[in-house]
A and B are shown apart, each in its own frame.
Chain A
Amino acid sequence: GAVVSQHPSWVICKSGTSVKIECRSLDFQATTMFWYRQFPKQSLMLMATSNEGSKATYEQGVEKDKFLINHASLTLSTLTVTSAHPEDSSFYICSARDHRRLAAGELFFGEGSRLTVL
């Protein structure tokens, strides 16, 4: 299957700093990428839809000024957690859809990035 890679896989930062997480589609082009967040023992929660060359669409309750998303190319989307606080500590997961397989619709997920804010 298609490969989606995230970096870093884990990060620890101090409260008040900003952290950037990258999501890359390695063997396909992705016009659309999605960012999810997962707290311990909970399911994945969709945060936003990232479209190449346009502004991201955020789900209700997700602060767009806190979670900055950039999708500058067909293979890269970035999520920046600005002024991170301990409550932002979570597992962040991206996913991408192969633009050649839009009709099929399946998403391919990255390995996830675990953020711990001290």
Chain B
Amino acid sequence: DAKTTQPPSMDCAEGRAANLPCNHSTISGNEYVYWYRQIHSQGPQYIIHGLKNNETNEMASLIITEDRKSSTLILPHATLRDTAVYYCIVNQGGKLIFGQGTELSVKP
């Protein structure tokens, strides 16, 4: 079973920041948090991952709470092409077990 919980859906206005929350309260000390997204009928796309520190790359920022029980993915300026299902995943023994994800709809 997935070790993460996410809201099933969210809306965001185009050009605004999208903040996608994820709870992973049972995460272990050496388990990474990964974020992927899947656009309809395509394979998942890697976004970002982190362990303890906040991370930023050209796609997004990842904010991990100090107790590591939750994290937030931030898309700083959402575009219509960011509409997708976003998955927050905790590495379980080398495997990535997907939960249901958050369906993000970016609206004009």
Contact = CB atoms under 8 A, between A and B. Distances in A.
Nearest to B95: A46
Nearest to B31: A105
Closest 9 CB pairs of A and B: A109-B43, A44-B98, A43-B98, A109-B44, A112-B43, A111-B43, A110-B43, A93-B43, A43-B100
B43 A105 contact: no
A63 interface: no
Interface in A1-49: 1, 4, 6, 32, 34, 36, 43-46, 49
Contact of B95 (A1, A34, A43): A34
B95 A112 contact: no
B95 A44 contact: no
B49 to A, nearest CB: 6
B45 A112 contact: no
A114 B36 CA distance: 20
B41 A108 contact: no
Interface string A84-116: 000000010101000000001111111110100
B42 A112 contact: yes
Nearest to A45: B98
Contacts of A44: 38, 44, 98
B49 A112 contact: no
A110 B91 CA distance: 19
A36 B43 CA distance: 10
A43 B87 contact: yes
A109 B34 CA distance: 13
Contacts of B46: 1, 106-109
Contacts of B42: 111-112
B96 interface: yes
A104 B41 CA distance: 27
A6 B34 CA distance: 23
Interface string B36-64: 10100111111001000000000000000
A110 B41 CA distance: 11
A105 B96 CA distance: 9
